[in-house]
């Protein structure tokens, strides 16, 4: 019980620092001494490697040793090269494996964390991070730049440099949508298919929900595309009780991606503003009376019904045109903020947050602090590390 009270007290101090400062390294008046073993534990959780003796001394000798330990950890290069790389890489591929090469998606998240770029822009900004001094240079048709950086063991904390997708890849700025329009995301989720994969994996990676958890059979089916059979296997009950629950919310939103494709031959993202990609008309004979996609106008029907619980922003209209405005809709929901905390918790505490009140309250408090800090994801790692038991 005493350990829990001490952890809660320590968390309250670190949360106050994170909310008030742009970086966790801000000092504050409260004193918090820790033993070398605890400093080592905090450092291990955040970086994935043990601290040096000099780092232990630095953490334990500071007036506020807890904040010092967190600061030293999130500024260590292993936090970027090891923890963050392993944290992000599964988001970039369909297999959700960590065993994939460094790519533009992963590098961009690492750079955003390092630079405290507001993470609620991660699905909408014209942003890209490349690696300084690495040849070949970044290209919209190859991942060789990032693979070379990994092969050379480049210190990503020092070498990442911010730029834009429009500048490097030649995508019009209005067609960029953060991580969803990186080459890695396009090659994994815009390839072939119907572009619903991009929607599904964005839900998994950034809302911590798969389609089955979001299904709502009460919404109207008028925006469901022609390729979805209304009587699969000759039984309309399958559609009415199962298929409709995902597609009635998903299809109005995947319309945001109507102008995107991934060209396997050229190895790059294709963006055709004003022209809907042919894949949106695949299997039109499955149900000819179904919705025919005319443009990239999207609508979030989950603002009503059971999925309203995910806290959609009242400052946004809930509809728009294109992937950029759709990304803003997703990343400004309460669920997006909570999802980032849940993912960091798993990475740092080596377990998912439990369903008990203590963990639920902690996740909610950290998510609120995350938003109040201007969506600085680095702070979340520090706050979770201070909270782990």
Q: Is residue 179 a contact partner of residue 126, using CB atoms and an 8 Å limit?
A: no
DSSP assignment of 52-75 equals PHHHHHHHHHSSBHHHHHHHHHHT
Render pLDDT for 203-244 as a digit per residue (tens, 0 to 9). Answer: 999 999 999 999 999 999 999 999 999 999 999 999 999 999
- Tokens in use for 167? 């500048």
Residue 269 three-state SS: strand
Regarding whether 363 and 239 lie in a shared domain, the answer is no
Regarding whether 373 and 302 lie in a shared domain, the answer is no
Kindly report the backbone phi and psi dihedral angles of residue 100, in degrees, each rounded to the nearest multiple of 5, phi listed first. -135, 155
Residue 138 three-state SS: coil
CA gap 91, 136 in Å, rounded: 25
- pLDDT for position 4: 41
- Domain contains 303: yes
Total residues found in the chain within this entry: 389
Mean pLDDT of all residues in 331-340: 98
- Domain contains 298: yes
Q: How confident is the model at residue 22 (pLDDT cuts 50, 70, 90)?
A: very low
Mean pLDDT of all residues in 255-266: 98
Domain holding 43, by residue range, is 2-23+26-74+338-387
CA gap 264, 276 in Å, rounded: 18
Distances (CA, A) of 231 to 129, 203, 244, 247, 360: 47, 27, 11, 14, 41
Q: Which distant-in-sequence residues (6+ apart) come within 8 Å of 213 by Cβ?
A: none
Residue 16 has pLDDT above 50, yes or no: no
- Count the domains in the chain: 2
Regarding whether 351 and 324 lie in a shared domain, the answer is no
Render pLDDT for 72-86 as a digit per residue (tens, 0 to 9). Answer: 999 999 999 999 999
- pLDDT for position 182: 98
Q: What's the mean pLDDT when you consider all of the chain?
A: 91
């Amino acid at each position: 019980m005493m350990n829990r009270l001490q952890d809660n007290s320590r968390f309250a101090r670190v949360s106050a620092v994170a909310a008030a400062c742009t970086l966790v390294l801000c000092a504050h008046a409260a004193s918090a001494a820790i033993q070398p073993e605890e400093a080592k534990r905090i450092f291990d959780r955040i970086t994935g490697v043990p601290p040096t003796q000099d780092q232990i001394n630095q953490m334990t000798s500071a007036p506020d040793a807890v904040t010092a330990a967190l600061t030293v950890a999130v500024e260590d290069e292993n936090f970027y090269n090891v923890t963050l790389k392993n944290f992000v890489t599964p988001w970039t591929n369909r297999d959700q494996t960590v065993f994939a090469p460094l790519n533009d998606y992963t590098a961009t998240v690492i750079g955003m964390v390092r630079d405290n770029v507001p993470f609620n822009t991660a699905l909408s900004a014209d942003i890209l991070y490349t690696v300084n001094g690495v040849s070949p240079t970044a290209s919209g048709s190859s991942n060789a730049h990032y693979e070379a950086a990994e092969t050379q063991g480049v210190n990503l904390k020092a070498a990442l440099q911010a730029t834009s997708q429009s500048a490097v890849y030649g995508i019009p700025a209005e067609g960029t949508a953060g991580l969803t329009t990186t080459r890695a995301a396009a090659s994994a989720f815009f390839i072939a298919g119907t572009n619903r994969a991009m929607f599904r994996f964005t839900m998994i990676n950034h809302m911590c929900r798969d389609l089955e958890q979001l299904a709502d059979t009460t919404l109207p089916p008028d925006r469901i595309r022609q390729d979805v059979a209304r009587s699969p296997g000759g039984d309309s009950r399958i559609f009415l009780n199962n298929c409709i629950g995902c597609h009635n919310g998903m299809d109005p939103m995947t319309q945001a991606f109507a102008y995107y494709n991934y060209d396997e031959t050229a190895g790059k993202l294709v963006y055709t503003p004003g022209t809907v990609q042919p894949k949106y008309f695949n299997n039109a004979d499955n149900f000819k009376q179904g919705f025919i996609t005319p443009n990239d106008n999207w609508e979030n029907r989950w603002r009503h019904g059971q999925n309203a619980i995910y806290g959609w922003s009242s400052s946004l209209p809930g509809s728009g045109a294109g992937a950029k405005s759709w990304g803003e809709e997703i990343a400004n929901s309460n669920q997006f903020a909570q999802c980032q905390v849940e993912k960091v918790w798993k990475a740092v505490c080596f377990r998912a947050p439990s369903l008990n009140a203590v963990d639920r309250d902690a996740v909610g408090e950290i998510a609120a602090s995350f938003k109040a800090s201007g969506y600085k994801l680095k702070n979340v790692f520090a706050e979770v590390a201070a909270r782990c038991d």
